Amino acid sequence: MKYIAPRWLPGGHLQTIWPALYSRRGFGPPPEYRRERWDTPDGDFVDVDFLANAGVAAQPAADTRPLLVVFHGLEGSSRSHYCEAFADFARERGWACALPHFRGCSGEINRAPRAYHSGDHAEIGWMLQRLRAAHAGPIMAVGVSLGGNALLRWAAEVGEDAAQSVGAVAAVCSPVDLAAGGHAIGSGFNRQVYTRMFMRSLVPKALQKLAQHPGLFDRQALLAARDLYAFDNIFTAPLHGFRNTEDYWLRASAKPLLHRIRVPALVVNARNDPFVPAASLPLPHEVGSSGHVTLWQPPHGGHVGFARGRLPGHVRAMPDAVGGWLAEHAGANGAPGSARQQGAQSPHG
C-alpha cells in the first residue's frame, strides 16, 4: 500500500482523529444494515449486521457472490467509520458484507459474564464457520485493530483449516504485540486522549456486567482504574481465563504466531500509528518463509485513518487497497457481482 497522507493532514494523531470524526466514509449514502441475532454455544448472543439488499440472500446457499466479513476494533461497531467504509466498498463491488459485533458492542449488553478481548480467536472461528455454512461464494475476512489481532490469532491457531472458512484474511492497524500497544496507549498524549475515550465506554459496560453478575470483580478497584492496563487486570484478564494483564497481553498477541498462518494474510500497519509503535511491528523474517503473510507498513496513515483527497477527505483508500488485495488472493475477482468493479481500486481520487 503506497499511501501518502494529504499535506493538510500532518502527523499520526491528526491522521487518526480527523478521519474518524470528519472525513467522508463512502461515496454513496450511509450503508443500511439488517441485523441477525445469533445464539452462541454458551447461551449468550451476538448481533451480526448484513449490508441490506446485498447481504446473505434469503436462501444463502445459492448466493455465490463474494462475502466480505468485517470485524471491528475495541469498542467499535458496524457504524464505526472504517466499517462503513468497508461496507461502502463492498456495495460498490456488488459483494455481500457481514459485520459481526463482539459481545456487548451492538448497543445491548450481552448476557454471559464474559465480554470480548484481543485474542478472542474461538469466537472469530465460530462466527466464520457459521457464515461459511450459510454462504456459497468466496469469503474474505478483515479485522481492524483489536479485531485484526483476534483474526490473525484464529488463522494461526487453526493453520491449514482456516481455508475451510475463508480464502484470505487481512488485519488493519492491529496491535499484534499487545504489550507494546498497551504501554503506548497508556502514556503521554495517548493516555490523556485515547485512553480516556475508551475508558468512558468500557467502565460503564463493566459495571453493567457487575449488576448482572454480582461479585464478578472488585467494583472499587474498577472505579479507581485510570488506564487499560488496570482495566484489563481487573476485568478483561480474569474474566477470560488469563492470570493478569501481562499474561493476557502475552498469550493473546498474534505476532509470535504469524509464522503458523497458512492462508493468504495481509498485515497493514502505518508506521506513525499512535497506538502501535513502529518498533513493535513484525519484520519479514518474523512471519515465516511460507509466503502466506504479506506486510504493508506505509509511513503515514495514523490509526485506521488513511484519509485521502481534498479537505475533509475520505477514508476509502484503505478499504479499496485491502479489499482489492483480498479479492485477488481469495479468488473473488471473477465471482458474480465483482466484475464490474475490477480494476477500480480508487476511482474517486
pLDDT in tens, 12-51: 999 999 999 999 999 999 999 999 999 999 999 999 999 9
Alpha-carbon distances of 12 from 68, 158, 189, 274, 307, rounded to whole Å: 28, 34, 12, 6, 11
At 289 the pLDDT is 86
DSSP run (H or E) holding 35: strand 33-39
Point out the residues that are catalytic. 145, 273, 303
Percent of the chain at pLDDT > 70 equals 94
Q: Which residues share a beta bridge with 267?
A: 171, 295
Q: 16 is written with which cell numbers? A: 487518526
Amino acid (one-letter) located at 7: R
From CA 105, how far away is CA 108, in angstroms rounded? 7
Buried b (16+ CB within 10 A) or exposed e, 191-225: eeebbeeebeebeebbeebbeeeeebbeeeebeeb
At 338 the pLDDT is 64
At 43 the pLDDT is 96
At 290 the pLDDT is 86
At 59 the pLDDT is 45
At 1 the pLDDT is 76
From CA 286, how far away is CA 127, in angstroms rounded? 28
The runs of H, that is alpha helices, within 97-236 are: 121-133, 146-158, 178-185, 188-190, 196-212, 219-224, 228-231
Are 85 and 307 within 8 A, CB to CB?
A: no
At 28 the pLDDT is 93
Q: What is the sign of the dihedral through the CA atoms of 235, 241, 243 and 249?
A: negative
Averaged pLDDT, groups of 10, the chain, 349 residues long: 93 98 96 98 97 58 88 98 98 97 97 97 98 96 98 98 98 98 96 97 98 97 97 98 98 98 98 97 93 97 98 97 97 71 40
